[in-house]
Amino acid sequence: MDEISSRRRDLEKLRPLTQAQLEVLWPHWRAEDALFVYATNAIEGSTLTHGETIVVLESGVTIGGKPLQDHLDAVHGAEAYALMLDFAQKRVELTLERVLDLHRAVVGKDSPIAGEVRQERVSIRGSQHVPPNYMKVPALLDEMMERYHEDQAAGVHPVDIASRLHFDLLTIHPFKDGNGRTARLLQNLHLIREGYAPILIDPQEKAKYFDVIHAAQVEVPGVRNPAPFLFYMAELERKALDRYLQVLSQHEGSSD
């Protein structure tokens, strides 16, 4: 309980960005699409570097020796990132249909699995967590969204709410592919809507990110404890806010 109380005090120190600050940061966030796309795809195993991702997105060329799927993931990832920012900027209500929209963008709207809940058993390589039976997935997604709205009504901290969405989607694993990328976009959608900074999970964080997720999912057999994951995400959000507040201070300094 002491750790939880400490985490809550830390969360309360996180400050949302003002509307004026958000206006300054929107162009910055949109210009960082390649960085976010590179990072989220690298976590899933893409071989494209940050520089190669920029080339693919800006020039539409293919990188010799790199899988075609990595190129497609970059293009779809940029479309999904742009959709997430549009939803956030317009403060679109976050519903299950919006979650499915993000997934459609992540895997490409022409994919046969785009926005489709899986109809088969799946396993996660290297993890002891067993995703729920596909028959239970629709009801679990409904529960996820109900919890989201209940947490909002109860005044739960926005960083906790966003991180719990991320954790729940990963744990339910509702899609045949694209779960992690969709979960990270979903988290950032809520964060930005509520005046917080988007979290960038650097590929160097990959091992720790997976370790924390795994520990939270299997801490007690049959019982999940998202607290370690929420704590970890709060730390990343603190770093994200520090980064963008520094950008803002530089902007203010240059406008004097």
Nearest C-alpha neighbor of 181 from the set 191, 192, 172, 170: 170
**Which string of b and e fits 159-189 if b means at least 16 CB within 10 Å?**
bbbbbbbbbbbbbbbbbbebbbbbbbbbbbb
Give me the domains of the chain, ranges plus CATH numbers: 18-111+126-254 (1.10.3290.10)
pLDDT, position 249:
85
pLDDT, position 200:
95
**pLDDT tier for residue 6 given thresholds of 50, 70 and 90:** low
Name which of 34-43, 47-56, 165-174, 242-251 the model is least confident about. Answer: 242-251
Give percent of the chain above pLDDT 70. Answer: 91
pLDDT, position 222:
56
105 vs 111: CA distance, rounded Å: 10
With a CB cutoff of 8 Å and minimum separation 6, the contacts of 22 are: 192, 195
pLDDT at 9 over 70: no
Nearest C-alpha neighbor of 8 from the set 209, 241, 236, 230: 230
Provide mean pLDDT across the span 40-48.
Answer: 97
pLDDT, position 3:
53
DSSP per-residue codes, 159-170: HHHHHHHHHHHH
Dihedral (C-alpha) 222, 160, 106, 27: value to the nearest 10 degrees? -170
**pLDDT tier for residue 11 given thresholds of 50, 70 and 90:** low
Amino acid present at 208: K
**Which string of b and e fits 18-27 if b means at least 16 CB within 10 Å?**
eeebbebbee
pLDDT digits (tens, 9 = 90+) for 233-246: 999 999 999 999 88
